[in-house]
Amino acid sequence: MGKEILDVLGVTLWMIVGIIGIFALYLAVSGLCYLVQRAYYRGRDRAKGYTSLKTVTFGDESAVTGNRMASVAAVITLFLFWGIATGSKLLPPILPQPFVGESAFEYTAVNAAGESATGTVLVQVNAADSDDKSKPDPASVVGASFAKTDVVVVAERRAKLVKVQSNDDGGDQDGYTVTAINGKPIAPEETVSFDDGDVFMTAKGSLSVRPATGMTMEALYLPPPEKVWERFIQLNKEGYLGVGLWENVFWSLIRVVVGFALGCLFGIPLGFAMGLNSWLRGWFEPIVEFMRPVPPLALIPLIIIWFGIGEQGKISLLFLAALWIMTIAARSGVSGVNIAKVHAAYSLGATKKQILTKVILPNSLPEIFTGARVAMGVCWGTVVAAELVAAEKGAGKMIIAASKFSLTDIVIIGIIIIGVIGYLIDVLMRIAERRLVPWKGKA
């Protein structure tokens, strides 16, 4: 217990260092861009409008608008970082790249008889995505002595054992040892570098060759942008695991729309009932108040036990995710109705039904829309999580399946698409809100 807490503390401190480092780098670039744009705009008359005449802007939130140029520069910077860190081919190499190609080193061995000889190891390093099966020809370097030329083929960044003794005369006799690499002495558990990598001697005396790894990130962790783009094109054409890319997205969206619609269909009337009737409010309050703070993700196991992994389970989950949010939004919409408006409507001769449809419903629309935006966001997050757990199709299913095969590029494409669609949903909801509730915030 105590050690685990210490671990948490250690991780936290390490993260603080990391976060500060990343932010410092990003802010430094931001500062640089700012200086550049300020120098560019110096002396040019560009500020227009009322806000530009305000002398107090620090502290006046309305005078602070997102600088578009900063946003564009920030996104470009992000992609540049991505490209640099992954050694993208679209950029000139900035960080040292991992070694790919042919190299060689010499080893010095002593045989049982105590004679010393020097042999050559030809190293061929293939790029990670290369299908090249060819090997360098050992005959091209003649091993004149008992130490014969060896060949090792290794993928970039990977280490590989090379048993130099296996083809050497007397290599299987006791007393045969490798003593030096390129003239530098080596012993078990020691590492010696050669031109394009390192050689490590294991405890048993075998050699392990690791070509230079460079400083860029491996595609397994973060593929370069162009790889992701190529994969995107490929996914568009072929899909993944027999399901088209947009088919996956479409299925996630369908579930969200159906679940959300069901949530609205039942949640809004339920909220109205709770806002209009003491008995019904008392009746439903305990369950609504209890279910509201339960994260929908916590229901996934139960839903799977009840409904299995089919569509019914997922739609039920999304229904539950949207239901409570919409209920509470509708209820607070009703309680937000100015009583004077209801009084006015009664005085004008409206019946209860007319009060509901002509006064309470439109008056609670702003609240309902706020709730709907939250509910859509929660549903979108929940559907992806539910698909991660179990699904046949869907954006979440695609990325979890890809992650099992270490197809990081597909995972990244999935994340980007999920983010973009989540954002588009919110934009659409805001447009709908502006068209349907133009009086919001203006009363």
Partner 1 sequence: MTGLVIDDVSMTFELPNGGNVEALKNINLEIKEGELMSVLGPSGCGKTTFLNILAGFLAPTAGVMTLNGHNITGPHPERGMVFQHGALFEWMNVSHNIGFGPKMKGTPQVEIDAKVEELLSIVGLQDFGEKMIYEMSGGMQQRVALARCLANDPDVILMDEPLGALDALTREKMQSLVLDIWKKTGKTIILITHSVEEALLLGERLLVMAPRPGRVHKEYKLPFAELGVGADLREVKRHPEFGPTRDEILNMIWDMEEEIMGRTENA
Site residues for partner 1 per CB under 8 A: 338, 340-341, 343-351, 354, 358-359, 362-363, 365, 437-439, 442-443
Residues in Cβ contact with 230 at an 8 Å cutoff, skipping those fewer than 6 apart: none
Residue found by looking up tokens 């050992």 in the block: 138
Residue among 383, 387, 380 nearest 401 (CA) = 387
Residue 320 and residue 378 in contact, taking contact as beta carbons nearer than 8 Å? no
**Nearest distance from C-beta of residue 61 to partner 1, angstroms:** 22
Which residue, 275 or 313, has its beta carbon nearer to partner 1? 275
Which residue, 59 or 441, has its beta carbon nearer to partner 1? 441
- With both helix axes pointing from N to C terminus, report the angle between 278-291 and 311-335 in degrees, rounded to the nearest 10: 130
**Nearest distance from C-beta of residue 338 to partner 1, angstroms:** 6
**Nearest distance from C-beta of residue 426 to partner 1, angstroms:** 23
| Token digits of residue 43 | 């002396």
Residues in Cβ contact with 8 at an 8 Å cutoff, skipping those fewer than 6 apart: none
| Token digits of residue 120 | 């050559």
Which residue, 91 or 342, has its beta carbon nearer to partner 1? 342
Which residue, 258 or 350, has its beta carbon nearer to partner 1? 350
**Distance separating alpha carbons of residues 163 and 172, to the nearest angstrom:** 11
Taking 3-state DSSP, the helix, strand and coil percentages for the chain, each rounded to the nearest 5, stand at 60, 10, 30
**Nearest distance from C-beta of residue 50 to partner 1, angstroms:** 20
Pairing of strands 116-126, 150-155: parallel
Lay out the sheet containing 177-181: strands in order across: 150-155, 116-126, 101-110, 177-181, 184-185
**Nearest distance from C-beta of residue 355 to partner 1, angstroms:** 9
**Nearest distance from C-beta of residue 369 to partner 1, angstroms:** 13
Residue 262 and residue 379 in contact, taking contact as beta carbons nearer than 8 Å? no
Residues in Cβ contact with 232 at an 8 Å cutoff, skipping those fewer than 6 apart: 245, 413
Tell me the residue length of the chain.
443
Residue 322 and residue 264 in contact, taking contact as beta carbons nearer than 8 Å? yes
Which residue, 368 or 425, has its beta carbon nearer to partner 1? 368
Which residue, 197 or 275, has its beta carbon nearer to partner 1? 275
Which residue, 134 or 347, has its beta carbon nearer to partner 1? 347
Give the helix/strand (H/E) hosting 11. Answer: helix 2-41
**Nearest distance from C-beta of residue 276 to partner 1, angstroms:** 17
Which residue, 291 or 361, has its beta carbon nearer to partner 1? 361
**Nearest distance from C-beta of residue 351 to partner 1, angstroms:** 7
Residue 344 has φ and ψ, to the nearest 5°, of -60, -45
**Nearest distance from C-beta of residue 371 to partner 1, angstroms:** 18
Which residue, 140 or 357, has its beta carbon nearer to partner 1? 357
Which residue, 86 or 363, has its beta carbon nearer to partner 1? 363
Residues in Cβ contact with 395 at an 8 Å cutoff, skipping those fewer than 6 apart: 248, 249, 252, 383, 384, 387, 414, 417, 418, 421
**Nearest distance from C-beta of residue 432 to partner 1, angstroms:** 15
**Nearest distance from C-beta of residue 341 to partner 1, angstroms:** 5
Which residue, 208 or 354, has its beta carbon nearer to partner 1? 354
Q: Which residues of 50-78 are buried (b: 16+ CB within 10 A; e: fewer)?
A: eeeeeeeeeeeeeeeeeeeeeeebeeebe
